[in-house]
Amino acid sequence: MLPFVAAGAAAMAAAAWAVRGKSSRVFAPSVWHGPRMGEKAALTFDDGPSERTSELLDVLAAYKTKSTFFVCGKNAVRFPEIVRRIASEGHEIGNHTWSHPRLDFHSTDAMRAEIGRTQDVLSGITGTPPHLFRAPFGVRWPGLGTVQDEFGLLGVMWTHIGLDWKLPAGKVVARLRRGQRPGDIYCLHDGRKLEERPDISVTLAATREFLEKTCDRNFAFVTVSAMLNQ
């Protein structure tokens, strides 16, 4: 029986990687890093906008940093003025679904509704449809590639995720700085799913510290699209 047990375990591991592996392209086209030459990297934020996203924008402005924000449609409807500020200050806006569900076991139609509704809302607010998509929890599923193709979206995973919703700022920064390389994509959060008035104090502190410590590496933080198109 042991060979069958080993084969089953291998199959389960392969399925898990296909769904959540950051380098997986099984279900939809995606990237998890950019070109490894030069000194450009991309700082990204998920789940916003929130009541405190404006504070984060102030931090980014102080460090002359451009970032990519993967926005939930429901939050965008609550804070359209913040979405417009993100765009007007030169940051990039990506699609993070309407209501932040895990997409596993969702039908193609359900994924189309989540993503398409957000495309419509963000296009209405900024005048430009997003070209990038990040799946909530990094979960991809059969049919997602079809939906991304319909809306002209490229999936974006991450090289480093800070776990800023549960770790203190110092540990978040340590995770982001471990093994830094050009082309890295960093994932933080300016919201907490659809939570109202989320506490993102850790994210704000970690972003300041990370940018301060990374300045000595001569990294230029740009939007994901700018990094990919360099």
- The rounded mean pLDDT for the chain is 94
Nearest CA to 41 out of 181, 223, 183, 215 is that of 183
pLDDT digits (tens, 9 = 90+) for 171-194: 999 999 999 999 999 999 999 999
Judge whether residue 167 has pLDDT over 80: yes
% of the chain at pLDDT higher than 90 = 90
Per the structure, the complete domain to which residue 59 belongs is given by: 2-228
Q: List the CATH number of the domain containing 52.
A: 3.20.20.370
Is the C-alpha dihedral spanning 138, 165, 120, 65 positive or negative? negative
* pLDDT on residue 5: 47
Secondary structure class of 225 (helix, strand, coil): helix
DSSP 98: S
Domains of the chain: total:
1
Which residues are catalytic, by number?
Answer: 46, 189
pLDDT digits (tens, 9 = 90+) for 1-33: 556 445 556 677 889 999 999 999 999 999 999
40-50 core/surface letters (b: 16 or more CB in 10 A; e: else): bbbbbbbbbbb
Q: How far is CA 37 from the centre of its chain?
A: 22
Whole-structure pTM value: 0.94
* pLDDT on residue 9: 62
Provide mean pLDDT across the span 157-164. 98
pLDDT digits (tens, 9 = 90+) for 86-136: 999 999 999 999 999 999 999 999 999 999 999 999 999 999 999 999 999
pLDDT digits (tens, 9 = 90+) for 41-62: 999 999 999 999 999 999 999 9
